[in-house]
Structure 1
């Protein structure tokens, strides 16, 4: 079956969070979170290396909206259920529909870190993948030195399947880094 024919929810909730696909107009809140978190994001994420405008962020989110519709990439935005505040960006990436394999990526607005939101969001997204998308495998990959990302995977019981040595360059393209591969399987 062509993945574009798959029907599944575009939003769901956890105890404190609303997690949904990106919609036109979300650029402002995501842009503000990137600006507030740039110092922390720069260390790990390529997109944070370059200052982007609010319009560029909006364009990126609209492209993510289209990719979600085409089932090519399932970016998800995380909001506080009660306040409506934007908290984080996550999603299911590097999708293999034949195998039903997904990789969760995530970053949090620094102003909301340390409150368990990212762990709650990743747990919710993992459950969504297994229940709604019939995932057989969900991965989290992160730099071995990214202690906070590793901690999320470990808290949620993802198995560390291995470390890929000299797997990728750092975000500045200067130093080879190792990558942890965590996974849960059905």
Structure 2
């Protein structure tokens, strides 16, 4: 089946969270605020956030994410508290999709003020179940820098298998040194 014909919901829910595709005008401002509030933690691990984007840049990034969602090239979700909080808890996405296998990679980041509450673990669990069960992916990978222990904790807690560590595989977020990448997977 052509992936464009797949019925993909714009929203997923867990016990505490709403995962919503970025399709609303103004999402850029919400994401901008979360990036600004979490900048120093994000800067350490993500090359994308070496500088704080403007509200306009965040809005453009999310509109492109929505286009990619519609094209079935990646599925980014914004994470909110189901209790009605307007703050962004974080984002999680299924990307680098290969529909021939089918498989994907999962990425995520959390607003620093919500870290340590299990929100991202809950969101990643839901998104992995969605990928494996609804989209019938045969493999989901999570890749993270070996020293990013907070990020590594999530796949380990959720039963992903550490397949290996690629040594000197990538550059640090700031581009200053070589880093090792851990590869976790869950298969269907």
Q: Contact 2:35 / 2:52 at 8 angstroms: preserved in 1?
A: no
Number of corresponding residues: 186
Runs of 4+ in 1 over 6 A off after TM superposition: none
Q: What residue in structure 2 maps to residue 74 of structure 1?
A: 75
Note the C-alpha offset of 1:2: 2.6
- TM-score, length-normalised on structure 2? 0.96
Note the C-alpha offset of 1:75: 0.9
Q: Contact 2:95 / 2:104 at 8 angstroms: preserved in 1?
A: yes
* Unmatched runs of 5 consecutive residues or more in structure 2: none
- TM-score, length-normalised on structure 1? 0.97
Q: What residue in structure 2 maps to residue 14 of structure 1?
A: 14
Q: Deviations over 1:94-150 (max 9, x none)?
A: 101111101110000001111000000000000111121111101110000000000
Mapping of residues 60-139 of structure 1, within 5 Å: 60-85=61-86, 86-139=88-141
RMSD of the alignment, in Å? Answer: 0.9
* Unmatched runs of 5 consecutive residues or more in structure 1: none
Q: Deviations over 1:34-79 (max 9, x none)?
A: 0000010000001210221111101110110011000111111111
Aligned to 1:43, the other structure's residue is in SS state helix
